[in-house]
Structure 1
Amino acid sequence: MFKRRKYFVLLSILLVVTVILSACGSKTTGGGDSGKDELVVAQGADPKSLDPHGSNDQPSSRINKQIYNTLVEANEEMEIGAALAESWKQVDDKTWEFKLRQGVKFHNGEEMKASDVVFSFDRMANSPDVAHIIGAVESVEEKDEYTIIIKTKEPFAPLLGHLAHTASSILSEKAVKDAGDDYHSKPVGTGPFKFVSHESGDRVTLERFDDYYGDRAKVQKLIFRNIPEGTNRTIGLQTGEIDIAYDIEPIDVKTVKGDKKLSLVEGPSLSTAYIGFNTKKAPFDNVKVRQALNYAINVEEIIEVALEGGGTKATGPINDEVFGYNKSLTGYEYNPEKAKELLKEAGFENGFKTTIWTNDNPVRVTIAEIVQGQLKEIGIQVTVEQVEWGAYLERTAKGEHDMFILGWVTVTGDADYGLYALFHSTQHGEAGNRTFYTNNEVDKLLEKGRVSTDDSERINAYHKAQDMIVEEAPQLFLYFDTQKVGTQKNVEGFKIHPAGHHRLGNVGIGK
């Protein structure tokens, strides 16, 4: 029924986009030597904030990854290794000791010390955006200038994964206090790149930090461009204005693969796409309505049309690459007659009117239109509303929506992060549970999975929780995706990170 619109009058669009891109920055890799010390990266949205304690969205995290460091970090194989902490040991079930690297400099010239780590964790704990990420931490104490002690409330198996999250970045206490409320526009980290400027809606410019404790960045300047339309990101690659384009859309995959100047880099993802129901509002407070909509939507058609076949139907709430994923889940089959039966049982035989929100992501807009058409077939009238990204996050956190389309990246690779934030009753709103789902039994299972140090016990708890979540359907489970990044052929050293926060310090431009 629905077809992705191929961009028509390609030459006209190409000329327009070239003018826009050229007006915003010089060509970096299309020829000559002038751009080889500058890397331009395009993504689909502006960062919410360059304060890592004030944001947990993907566009922000991708940039913050370059500015800041965490105590430990996960590499491209999701193996935990040293970062600002050079070593650590577990003292007992609830106590960890971390030895910090000495001589690490912040971008303001100050040396990082234990007091900055303590300050940063106190700040995280008071942030509505990221407090849940370190919610298991009871205290962080300074043992000496280069040693900290972290105590958790209970044994917490996935602690190191949470400490590797970009939201657990370590900030300069002095820089934060000097900047006050303006810190988000004056970020200071310890990463391979330091902040230069943020032109809202257009670009963030970073430059190499020569006093970085690790290997010096390969390029002098790193620019993140905000280009919402995926096809325009691809055209930017073709014209040479962009070196790396994140999130290549399905419609553009063949274009990138067929261009001899470009490369398509594909890799695993830890993300899940879903449609959330506001379970606080009628009729979505009725489980039969939520189940009916899961039966009413042909997800395979969505994958075929919106993703051009480039996805896998989700059977539940977390990606199949995540520790604790329940392989026995089968999800919901497409069965509109079953959907009608459930609506009748719920008292909505004649359907109802509702809205579905999306931001301006073209794939999500297409999904919303497909859902609108499919739900019309069972008597549900859906209005599609596009909401600006920042307002989208803010308003869904407040629960102003009926239905919304979003994705979740289980950054830590552990089911705790993919389930606790989205389905525990203490995480309503900004923390991640934008469906406002509440189930005491699920809460208990998720809590058990957190505190157990036995992998089999944790897996069992997470499997049971997923069974209940799928049954109660606070979400319409869509698909698991593969990451697709387009690059110039002469881009060297780029690697896909499963969390989507790709490390760019080792990326350079060859001849």
Structure 2
Amino acid sequence: MKHLSSKYLAVILLVAMSLVIAACSNDSTPELITEEPTSQTTAEDVQIGVASDPVSLDPHGANEAVANTINAAIYDGLVYLDSNSNIQLRLAENLEQIEDTVWEAKIREGVYFHDGSELNAEAVKLSLDRVRDPEVASPVAFLFGMVTEVRVVDEYTVHIETEFPFAPLPSHLAHTAGSIISPTLIEQSYEDLANGGNPFAAVNEHPSGTGSFKFESQDPGNSVSLSNNEEYWGEDAANVDKLTFRVIPESATRIAELETGGIDINLTVFPSDITRLESNTETKVQQINSARLAYLGFNTEVEPFDDVNVRRAIHMAIDKDALVQGIIDGAGIPAHGPISPRINGYSDNINSIEYDLEEAKSLLAEAGYADGFDVTLLTDDNRERQDLAVALQAQLSELGITVSIDTYEYGTYLERAGLGQSEIFLGSWGTVTLDADYGLYPVFHSDNVGAPGNRSRIVNAELDELLEAARQESDYKTRVNLYEEVQNKLADESPYAYLYFPDNLSSVRSEVEDFWQYPSGYFYVRDVRMNK
């Protein structure tokens, strides 16, 4: 029997929120923190500026930052991530791996949903079955693709069975996709589906979870309001009376509202705003490195990118420091590997390809392209990637490579990249679970060639074996060692040129405390307090 000890829980997603990461260099592992902060509720309505409406207030119906931020306040999961990205127990009193492919969750008793429904094992099963149901077609179903069955053992015990041993399962359960929804709403959503309706409508219109905030109202295009759940079951109750998410599409307007006190928190800040906000004593910038990799991908099935020396030469000719300064105004770090220092499984003990223009020219000549060649770069109409394409066009000209830029709207760009209708392409990949498995397996395993994520179309048996072994390994240090091997193999093969990890940026009024952002991109607002 394999028990999920507090020590293992703490390291399964050990992703520090500071710029100095010691997860892989420190032999000690932090203990699971079970104490919750003491509540000091004050009469406050915190105004939060967002760029757009949430896609859905059904956590199975969306996977974007605004929706995830709001849903993380309304709903609870079996486990969650704290501000240090350590996994903590929430609706589960205990979570342990009782067999290689079976996890047992003991559910808290005496917990009720906002609509009065009681939490029990059946409610947990309903939610975890629904998110995986092909008929529902949840956009976050991929996070639980390895789960084969959720079984009710007794009123407050469930067993979660996986197709194969899967060490990162707790990190997937900690995502908002693992939220437990009122069973009353789930039943209504299935009635809607049976009648040809939208399976996410019922939950979106009347969200009901067990979280410390409950849904109050939504005015589409304008605002979403949440109120303090005064009957919250946990000790970490809300510190404010209300959260109001105001839709303010224009960045300049959000900045002005923050400066004048119209909003207390601005969820989206651009690097060009940092100096202005930091020079104002009434505002603060929140800045952490993200789990999102910006990369240049090579279609390894077409010439000349089927030659590893060509791929390595291009990678070596890219000045990543210049890109960080020129494209994102220094708000990020150069990428020396495919996963961020924020990711569980990260190690800096890997081979990396560094900027060396002369060696790049030598490799290109060795491959038979001393005079360079012409190539078309596929990208979408995202402003950052447009600027990045132009910068790379200039840098690669130093190798004699003439780059033409082919731009499409995002959906068409994704389709063409997935179908292999490109030579080289710009992209980004966010490790939403904050675990190395999701940062590597979907992107580089041969099972995922094409639209699922492996757009470089690399097929390598040794790489596949390493990726499979790492996702099944429960010993933390062994997993890290396996991921070091994976990244060294990727350095040899170079299906991508890793560019940078941009910072996540947000801003708050100076009196706002206990607000933070996950490296995966969404925000934790449940602990927010106002120091007035």
- TM-score band by shorter chain is 0.7 to 0.9
Matched pairs, number = 471
Query: Contact 1:69–1:189 (CA<8 Å) still a contact in 2?
Result: no
Spell out, residue by residue over 1:214-238, the C-alpha distance to the aligned partner (whole angstroms, 9 max, x if none): 42462424315364x7555434433
Shift of the 431–353 alpha-carbon distance from structure 1 to 2, 3 Å rule, reads closer
Spell out, residue by residue over 1:177-216, the C-alpha distance to the aligned partner (whole angstroms, 9 max, x if none): 14434244442341324374474xx556242263544424
SS in 2 for 1:483: strand
For 1:115, the aligned partner's letter is E
Return the TM-score normalized by structure 1.
0.80
For 2:73, the aligned partner's letter is Q
Spell out, residue by residue over 1:458-485, the C-alpha distance to the aligned partner (whole angstroms, 9 max, x if none): 2221111111112222222112344332
Cα displacement (A) at 1:319: 1.0
- Percentage of identical aligned residues: 35
Shift of the 85–492 alpha-carbon distance from structure 1 to 2, 3 Å rule, reads same
Q: How does 1:242-253 map to 2 (within 5 A)?
A: 242-253=263-274
Distance across 1 between alignment mates of 2:89 and 2:350: 36
SS in 2 for 1:506: coil
Shift of the 330–451 alpha-carbon distance from structure 1 to 2, 3 Å rule, reads closer
Q: How does 1:29-428 map to 2 (within 5 A)?
A: 37-43=45-51, 50-125=57-132, 126=134, 127=137, 129-171=139-181, 172=183, 173-180=186-193, 181-185=197-201, 186-187=203-204, 188-190=207-209, 191=211, 192-194=213-215, 196-197=217-218, 199=220, 202=221, 205-208=224-227, 210=229, 212-214=232-234, 215-216=237-238, 218-223=240-245, 225=247, 227=249, 233-279=254-300, 284-343=305-364, 349-360=371-382, 362-377=383-398, 378-383=400-405, 385=407, 387-388=409-410, 403-428=424-449
For 2:131, the aligned partner's letter is M
Return the TM-score normalized by structure 2.
0.77
Cα displacement (A) at 1:75: 0.5
Shift of the 508–300 alpha-carbon distance from structure 1 to 2, 3 Å rule, reads same
Query: Contact 2:46–2:240 (CA<8 Å) still a contact in 1?
Result: no
Distance across 2 between alignment mates of 1:84 and 1:237: 35
Spell out, residue by residue over 1:361-399, the C-alpha distance to the aligned partner (whole angstroms, 9 max, x if none): x444432321232234433223152635x6666665565
Distance across 2 between alignment mates of 1:212 and 1:394: 44
For 2:88, the aligned partner's letter is G
Cα displacement (A) at 1:163: 1.3
SS in 2 for 1:182: coil
Query: Contact 1:278–1:402 (CA<8 Å) still a contact in 2?
Result: yes
**Greater Cα shift, 140-149 or 497-506:** 497-506
Query: Contact 1:306–1:367 (CA<8 Å) still a contact in 2?
Result: yes
SS in 1 for 2:284: strand
Cross-structure match for 1:499: 520
Query: Contact 1:262–1:489 (CA<8 Å) still a contact in 2?
Result: yes
For 2:103, the aligned partner's letter is W
Distance across 2 between alignment mates of 1:397 and 1:246: 31
For 2:227, the aligned partner's letter is R
Shift of the 221–496 alpha-carbon distance from structure 1 to 2, 3 Å rule, reads closer
Cα displacement (A) at 1:83: 1.8
Cross-structure match for 1:22: none
Query: Contact 2:189–2:200 (CA<8 Å) still a contact in 1?
Result: no
For 2:349, the aligned partner's letter is S
| Alignment RMSD (CA, Å) | 3.3
SS in 2 for 1:421: helix
Query: Contact 1:40–1:223 (CA<8 Å) still a contact in 2?
Result: yes
Shift of the 277–121 alpha-carbon distance from structure 1 to 2, 3 Å rule, reads farther
